[in-house]
Chain A
Amino acid sequence: MDEQLVARILQNDQRAMGLLYQRYVGILTSVCYRYVAQESDVKDVLQNSFVKIFTSLSTFKFHGEDSLKAWMTRIVVNESLNFLQSRKKMLFVEDERILRDLPDEEEVNLDRISDDELHQLIRELPDGYRTVLNLFVFEGLSHRQIAELLSIKESTSASQFYFAKRQLAKRIKDLKNKKE
Chain B
Amino acid sequence: MKEEWTDKLKTRLEHHEMTPPEGLWEGISEQMNLAEKPVRKSSFPLSKRWIATAATLLALAGFFTFYDFKDDATSSSPVNIAEKAESHQAPAQEQTPEEKPVGEEPAVPRMRSLLAQAVPANSKAAPAATESPEPSAPPVIAEEKVTETTADEKTAETSQASAQTARRIAQASSSPTPTYQQNDGKPYSEEGKSPHQWSFGLHASGGLLADNSHQQNNHYPISQSDPLSPSPISQYNGGENPQNETPIKASHRLPIRFGLKIGYQLSERWALQTGITYTYLYSEFTLVNRQQPAIEQRLHYVGIPLGISYQIWKNSHFRLYASAGATAEKVVKNSQKSGDSKINSHSDGEKPLQWSVNTALGAEYQPTKQLGIYLEPSLDYYFKDGTGLEHYYKEHPLSPGIEFGLRWHLNP
**Residues of chain A whose beta carbon lies under 8 Å from any beta carbon of chain B:** 9-10, 12-15, 17-19, 21-22, 25-27, 29-30, 33-34, 39, 42-43, 46-48, 50-51, 54-56, 58, 105, 107-110, 115-116, 118-119, 122, 133, 136-138, 165, 169
Contact = CB atoms under 8 A, between A and B. Distances in A.
Contact of A118 (B1, B9, B162, B177): B9
Contacts of B25: 18, 21
B9 A137 contact: yes
B23 to A, nearest CB: 7
Interface residues of B, number: 45
Given A26-B18, A47-B27, A50-B28, A18 B172 contact: yes
A25 B179 CA distance: 11
Contacts of A56: 157, 162
B214 interface: no
A107 B408 CA distance: 73
A25 B5 contact: no
Contacts of A29: 17-21
B12 A115 contact: yes
Contacts of A22: 176-177, 179-180
Contacts of A13: 168
Interface in B191-217: none
A48 B166 CA distance: 14
Given A29-B20, A46-B20, A55-B165, A15 B28 contact: no
Contact of B16 (A12, A43, A55, A119): A119
What is the interface of chain A mostly: helix, strand, loop, or mixed?
helix
Given A51-B28, A105-B2, A118 B172 contact: no
Most chain B beta-carbon contacts within 10 A, residue among A21, A51, A56, A109 = A51
Closest 3 CB pairs of A and B: A18-B176, A26-B17, A14-B172
A177 to B, nearest CB: 17
Nearest to B159: A58
A43 B10 contact: no
Given A30-B16, A105-B1, A118-B12, A15 B172 contact: yes
Interface in B74-115: none
Contact of A55 (B10, B20, B27, B162): B162
Interface string B17-46: 111111111011001100000000000000
